[in-house]
Chains A and B, each alone.
Chain A
Amino acid sequence: MSSYSRGIMSNTEWRSPAGRFIKYFCLAVLVLAGIFVIFPFVFSFTAGLQSSIDVVKPGIHLFPAKPLWNNYLDAWRRFSMIKMFKNTFVAAGGGVLLQILVSALAAYSLSRLNPIGKNVIRAAILITMAIPGICYLIPRYILMTNLPLIHVSLVNSFWGLWIPYACNSFMILVLTNTFEQIPKELFEAAQVDGAGEGYMFFKIAIPLSSSIILILGLLAFIGLWGDFLWPYLILRNSDLQTVSVRLYTLTRSFPINLYLAGSFIAMLPPTIASLFLARYVKGGLTF
């Protein structure tokens, strides 16, 4: 990228004495910020290696003389963290897939098929962006405990998460814009060859927007992975709970060193994922 060749300062300026001063000043600030960012990671890691008495002992003892690696095994087994991760993956993954499918279908219709009342539907979708979800949480919860017509409760069911997760007005709007930018000639050519709308949706619209769908999906997945309040209300059964819900309830009944070890383990998958994410971050996560 050409923008890397210079920032606000040019490379020559960068090497002058004044430039060097600014450079090291910025670097120092950023390193401090970095330490601030990393500190909770380091703290939970080392606290997880100590006994519960040592953790709350006054004084700085970040590096225990006798690390208790067993705490991590203990936390892993007693909190059944594999199940926790699996539940979170199923909840967030299923939510993202449904969200992409529902949003892409709607966006295809809005951008290409000219449904009657298109603008009304668009406005109705847009307005949900302006109303914070928290404002209608209660009727939504009551609805989920007793679905109309079929009278099924979705409490303790992943469907209770997937259905609300499938609703993403931001994704519909972005994908509508994306599909509108695909050249019309591509669709016309396919139509001449006798392709139906379903074929054009799966073979033209989706593949040509795959990179933006991937980024939207990643962002949605990160958001859903850490979601707390809704899963806390819906998943009452501890066998189904996601990482954020389960760890919170565990802090009430387990010693501090164990749940801090568990917290550190819970921080690892997102940290590892961020290494892969770096590729997209470099190009900017925004549109």
Chain B
Amino acid sequence: MNTAAVLPEAKSKPRRHINWRQQGIAYLFLLPALIIFALVTWYPIVKTIIYSFQAVNLQGFQGWVGFSNYGRMFGNPIFLTVWWNTFDYVLISLLLGSMVPVILALMINEMRRLSSIFQMLVYLPALIPVTVALIVWRAIYAPEGGILNSILKLFAIAPQLWLQNPALAKPAIIVIMTWIGAGGTTLIYMSALREIPSEIFEAAELDGFSPLQRVWYIALPLISARIQMMVVLQIILVAQVFTEPFILTSGGPANSTRSPVLEIYDTAFNRSDFGLASAWSVSMLVILAAFSIIYVWSWSRRDANKG
């Protein structure tokens, strides 16, 4: 009787005693991460927002300017151009690139002995430093004497100004980005395909499902969560495109490949207008954070599904 009365009470009143020695050790382990995160992420994030309301150049702080950086950003026609470009980049990459890894994964998965060779092959470009790949691609796309135009000549196709024609420059860049990025995504889809128990396909086959029907009704729905996640990630990454236009086109022709990050880079490091560049960063942060939150959310949901 007595013990029964005491026990719940003891439970409802947890000992509020803090073991300071234990806490000291816990924070000692955390300390390097806390210092580094504060230094290279938390502080700069806050500082970006502060800078966007200030005039800042190489000499440092020049005074508070209220919303004038934002006014200058929205007032400049380049703002619309750049975000329209971003929309184009994302759209073209979804059309040209998003389904490539799905198809590759399904096909490589059907290869019996050759599958590991093809896996390695498609992943290879992801291992090459991006600038090195771009230097080579720039030579391939060269308008005069470029190998791509020479090959097309065999098929009686007129030579094109791949990177100098506003209509072609963005798709040309997306092709390179697909060359670089499709392999990694393919591997992720392949591991998702291998998680599907083969009994399901066996049963479907016995029920008379054709291979294409099995792909459409079983394989694709079962990896769709992963596809959705990777497509959101693709949007986030493509919206941050920088190195490709920086090295291949410098944002040209006629700003048709200029991306937000390239504009931030030029504003900050070529015109040393850090305030305006920070306003740009904040606009980008707001737009991309929305997508990033979707991504992190679907990532944690996938984790929860896995148990």
The contact of B139 among A121, A167, A225, A256, by CB within 8 Å, is A256
CB distance from B118 to the nearest CB of A (A): 5
Q: Considering the complex, which residues of chain B in the window 121-143 have a beta carbon less than 8 Å from any beta carbon of chain A?
A: 121-133, 135-137, 139-140, 142
Are A134's CB and B284's CB within 8 A? yes
A113-B26 CB under 8 A given contacts A139-B48, A167-B36, A274-B123: yes
Contact with A along B195-219 (1 / 0, CB 8 A): 0001001100100000100110011
Cα separation A228 to B51 with both chains bound (whole Å): 25
* Complex contact A57–B145 (CB within 8 A): yes
Question: With an 8 A cutoff between CB atoms, is B104 at the interface?
Answer: yes
Residues in chain B near residue A226, CB distance under 8 A: 127-132
Is B27's CB within 8 Å of the partner chain A? yes
Known contacts being A37-B124, A43-B140, A135-B284, is A30 close to B106, with CB within 8 Å? no
A10 to B209, CA, bound (A): 12
Whether B136 lies near A10 (C-beta < 8 A) is no
Write the chain B residue with the least CB distance to A285. Answer: B187
Which A residues are CB-close (under 8 A) to B30?
Answer: 105-106, 109-110, 115, 121
Closest to A177 in B: B303
| Chain A residues bordering chain B, tally (CB within 8 A) | 105
- With beta carbons under 8 angstroms apart, the residue of A116, A132, A197, A260 that contacts B25 is A197
Contact of B129 with A135 in the complex, beta carbons under 8 Å:
no
Q: Considering only CB atoms, which chain A residue lies closest to B135 in the complex?
A: A263
In the complex, which residues of chain B have a beta carbon less than 8 angstroms from the beta carbon of A38?
121
Where chain B touches its partner, the secondary structure class is helix
Q: CB distance B124 to A135 under 8 Å?
A: no
* B residues near A134, Cβ cutoff 8 Å: 240, 242, 261, 264, 281, 284
Interface SS of chain A: helix
> Are A281 and B123 within 8 A (Cβ)?
yes
Query: Do B292 and A139 have beta carbons less than 8 Å apart?
Result: no
Min distance, Cβ B188 to any Cβ of chain A, angstroms: 5
Q: What are the residues of chain A within 8 A of B109 when measuring CB–CB?
A: 7-8
Interface flag for B9 (CB, 8 Å): no
B179 interface contact, C-beta 8 A: yes
- The distance in angstroms between the C-alpha atoms of A101 and B34, with both chains bound, is 13
* A6 B202 Cβ-Cβ under 8 A: yes
Query: Could you say which of A34, A56, A114, A247 contacts B145, with CB atoms under 8 Å apart?
Result: A56
Complex CA gap A30/B241 in Å reads 28
By a CB distance below 8 angstroms, the chain A residues around B140 are: 39-40, 43
Q: Determine if A43 and B132 form an interchain contact, defined as CB atoms under 8 angstroms apart.
A: no
Min CB distance B234 to A, Å, is 14
| Closest CB in chain A relative to B71 CB, distance in Å | 19
State the CA gap A10–B268 with chains docked (Å). Answer: 58
9 cross-chain CB contacts under 8 A: A30-B104, A60-B154, A105-B30, A106-B33, A134-B264, A228-B243, A243-B129, A244-B130, A247-B132
Point out residues on B near A: beta carbons under 8 Å: 18, 22-23, 25-27, 29-30, 32-34, 36-37, 39-45, 47-48, 51, 103-104, 106-112, 114-116, 118-133, 135-137, 139-140, 142, 144-145, 147, 149-151, 153-154, 179, 183-184, 187-188, 190-191, 194, 198, 201-202, 205, 211, 214-215, 218-219, 236, 240, 242-243, 247, 261, 264-265, 268-269, 274, 277-278, 281-282, 284-285, 288-289, 292-293, 295-296
Interface residues of A (CB under 8 A from B): 1-10, 13-14, 19, 22-23, 26-27, 29-30, 33-34, 36-40, 43-44, 47, 55-60, 62, 101-103, 105-106, 108-110, 113-116, 121, 124-126, 128-140, 142-143, 163-164, 166-167, 169, 172, 197, 201, 222, 225-226, 228-229, 233, 243-245, 247-248, 251, 256, 259-260, 263, 266-267, 270-271, 273-275, 277-278, 281-282, 284-286
